[in-house]
Structure 1
């Protein structure tokens, strides 16, 4: 049997427990997860588990009322006398420590009854047992409510963010006109969108099933990774499209550069033909067909850019070849004049050498010099003859030097 001090301590603890239980049950009833589960039309796992949990939650409130009733009885007995007698202490001990909580009768299934047996059974338990049972049920309800709230507050917004990103991807695909060529990335976008819509519906109607599949109840990570991959593909395609546009725009300048190179080649060929005997102009690539192809590409807006790309690449290659051919022709023409100037320089060097050796007045040496000079300074210059004449002049100087 409890002493008076033990009774008062137990009663104070029960009063504190009653206050905490009341606060926690009210907060749980107002929990966003509980409101979510109560308000949305549930299906599947969520419907089954919440149906059980709602009964458990109602039972907790009923058990709390039993708890309060017993606590009220304890207060009533304790307040009868300032110093309880043995009879009061015995009753208080029974209320505080004995099976003082009488639960509502539980029906016995028909299959388990006897003909003369009861239809229901009553159970009693101690206050401590009642609190333990209420606590276990409370934790179950809290766990379900918290899970549902996590889905509603985190996963659903994550799905919305993923849907917004997917919409941007779809808009970029439309800008790239990928539907015109049936690009496979569109199939992937549709598949991700279907899965996002399925997840949104599941989060709204069966959040507990979704939480089982997505334990952390965070953003739809897998779908976001797929969207990242889709965006990477689309950005690569946009880069190719922009490259085609830029190259098409740049082809006008490249054609102008090729035309400039051809003009320089013709000018160099004309100058060389006047100065070098036998010089002929190298054949050049005609630019008019290339300009016609460029005009056609600019006018073919109805064609998809991926198809235009191949033609742009081919035209760019042909324009580059035309420019390179013209530059080579120009350089070849200028090289003949450079060769003549080189021979002139060598002739002047040999003339200076002859002067140092006092051979300038030698008739043979002087005749060969004049022959080489005339060939190199009389247009058009015969480079082959001038090269031979220069070699003969050099040989004459060498022979005269050796005989001294």
Structure 2
């Protein structure tokens, strides 16, 4: 029958040996984890940083635990060494040794300081007890709790410091290049919205970097329901770095860069665009001049016709074009861009207006030319039909031709004369001939 003590059945020799092997491996793993934690980059940075906000609060609670971990580890090692010493007395321990080792390995014979017992979220000074008796298993649980507190803060801070400051520095360097580009195209704070935005972005990046360095946990999003880890674990805090503020800044800088590159292209293309606007206005003026000449011709050659007046040149456009040239000379590209867009559209509309005026003024001449063409076509048809010598056709052709080739020309009378010639041509063709 197995002996029973206060902590249950007394362990057998085989159970003792297995337990000592397991606890020895566990001790080595804990020691390796504590050494890794001692050199953890996040922990080293936290110790030397001027912290604020959430990070300062969390680290002030967790930092003292590193010393407590080593203290508990020493207690654990001493208890394990004591059990090993008992086991080494004899190759085949007797009941008294087995009873003693059972008490050491399973009993609550390990004395620890109350500050080493972080239960229920208490701080180190949260307990009024001076000490407590615990088992080796409970001691490991205490170490796991403190380790979890420290590694969670250290790993989260390290993840944020790894992810954000370098990226912020690169973005700040890019912002410096964008600001230089802004100066090259005449964009300055207080004179252009983009210049003001660049200054605000420089302040934002400086503030963001300062906050990331001082309070990295403010940019850490823990994974819901995740544990805190234990000695011998992965040593990383589950969660993600919140890069939203950085991402918004990066998008703003990129948008400003695109806007300024547009101004740079404008600077390179300004001469060509101004020249194009001038050429378009010149074509409009030439078209209006042609319309005025054509109006005089219409008034002289066409009788009883309302001829619309021809508008004058767009002098206001010339003034605005001169203003645009002044802006180009003084490098005011951000003001020149909208003006050039407006002038290009206005110049095209001015050319269209001139073309419509020319079309409207020359409409009577176009009608006369169309009637002349029809008369000649009918005469050619009469020749094909062999009736070009018909006296009535000759008379009506001569009458229509005199009207169309005399000045001033009465378009209504001429159109009627052409129609009469056509009507006379049809019956003259006779049966069996091609119809007109």
Compute the TM-score of the two structures, normalised by the length of structure 1. Answer: 0.75
Equivalent residue for 1:382, pick from 374, 389, 409? 409
Are 1:177 and 2:217 matched, yes or no? no
Q: Using the TM superposition, give the Cα deviation of residue 224 of structure 1 relative to its aligned residue in structure 2, in angstroms.
A: 1.8
Contact 1:268/1:333 (<8 A) preserved? yes
Q: Using the TM superposition, give the Cα deviation of residue 25 of structure 1 relative to its aligned residue in structure 2, in angstroms.
A: 1.0
Match of 1:224 in 2: 247
Unaligned runs of 5+ in 2: 1-9, 116-127, 225-238, 431-436
Equivalent residue for 1:323, pick from 334, 344, 351? 351
Question: How far apart are the structure 2 equivalents of 1:123 and 1:310?
Answer: 80
SS of the aligned residue for 2:241 comes to: coil
Contact 1:276/1:336 (<8 A) preserved? no
SS of the aligned residue for 1:372 comes to: helix
Alignment of structure 1 residues 204-219 onto 2, 5 Å: 204-211=213-220, 216-218=239-241
Match of 2:35 in 1: 26
Deviations 1:213-272 (A, max 9, x none): 9995425214423552564477468658967947535313323433553566577678x5
Contact 1:14/1:71 (<8 A) preserved? yes
Question: How far apart are the structure 2 equivalents of 1:373 and 1:401?
Answer: 21
| CA pair 186-394 structure 1, distance change in 2 beyond 3 A | closer
Cα RMSD over matched residues? 4.4
Deviations 1:164-183 (A, max 9, x none): 55556655655462635352
Are 1:257 and 2:267 matched, yes or no? no
Question: How far apart are the structure 2 equivalents of 1:51 and 1:352?
Answer: 110
Equivalent residue for 1:371, pick from 382, 395, 399? 399
Question: What is the aligned length?
Answer: 386
Question: How far apart are the structure 2 equivalents of 1:361 and 1:209?
Answer: 107
Match of 1:248 in 2: 274
Match of 1:346 in 2: 374
Q: Using the TM superposition, give the Cα deviation of residue 150 of structure 1 relative to its aligned residue in structure 2, in angstroms.
A: 1.1
Q: Using the TM superposition, give the Cα deviation of residue 206 of structure 1 relative to its aligned residue in structure 2, in angstroms.
A: 2.6
Question: How far apart are the structure 1 equivalents of 2:173 and 2:165?
Answer: 12
Q: Using the TM superposition, give the Cα deviation of residue 142 of structure 1 relative to its aligned residue in structure 2, in angstroms.
A: 1.4
| CA pair 229-303 structure 1, distance change in 2 beyond 3 A | same
Q: Using the TM superposition, give the Cα deviation of residue 57 of structure 1 relative to its aligned residue in structure 2, in angstroms.
A: 1.3
Deviations 1:290-317 (A, max 9, x none): 5564244212334845544565456445
Compute the TM-score of the two structures, normalised by the length of structure 2. Answer: 0.70
Equivalent residue for 1:54, pick from 63, 87, 102? 63
Q: Using the TM superposition, give the Cα deviation of residue 361 of structure 1 relative to its aligned residue in structure 2, in angstroms.
A: 4.9
Question: How far apart are the structure 2 equivalents of 1:285 and 1:318?
Answer: 15
Contact 1:241/1:306 (<8 A) preserved? no
Larger helix fraction of residues: 1
SS of the aligned residue for 2:86 comes to: helix
Match of 1:286 in 2: 313
